[in-house]
Amino acid sequence: MANSKRIVLSSDHAAIELRQAIAAHIAERGFEVNDIGPVSPESTHYPKHGEAAARAVAAGDADLGIVVCGTGQGIMMAANKVKGIRCGVCSDTFSAQMIRTHNDANMLALGARVLGEGLALEVVDAFLSAEFEGGRHGLRVDMIKGIEG
């Protein structure tokens, strides 16, 4: 796996089980896991959970973040509102690898109602094992950063 060892995890109520499975999976692989998501199945709002994980990554308290909601879309949108965050929703291993190698993504979003646990863990592994290639991709990431203001 890549050098990034501190991973923050969060989710809404729809994704607690998948988030906990991901936490156990990556802990077994030697990652330091900070699971800040809810434990109660009571309805909760994905924007606050996406923001909390993104703020941990942006502050340097975690190297990477993984957030999960029903589709992954809403929690990803919330995370991306935090300056310095590049979060992508992935439902396949190729995309998960590419958002790291080409886009220097520092967060991954998953949809618990979209992916089964097995594929979700494969996507997580692809994301965590990939590293940013730099080069021409660095220029493009800098252009993305420039949009933030």
**Which among 79, 108, 104, 86 has a CA at the least distance from the CA of 96?**
108
**Is 69 noted as a catalytic residue in this protein?**
yes
Of 13, 69, 87, 90, which is the active-site residue? 69
**Is 90 noted as a catalytic residue in this protein?**
no
Q: In degrees to the nearest 10, what's the CA dihedral of 36, 58, 131, 117? A: 20
CA distance 105 to 107: 6
**Which among 40, 36, 50, 53 has a CA at the least distance from the CA of 14?**
40
**Which among 138, 118, 129, 93 has a CA at the least distance from the CA of 5?**
129
Q: Which residues are designated catalytic? A: 69, 102
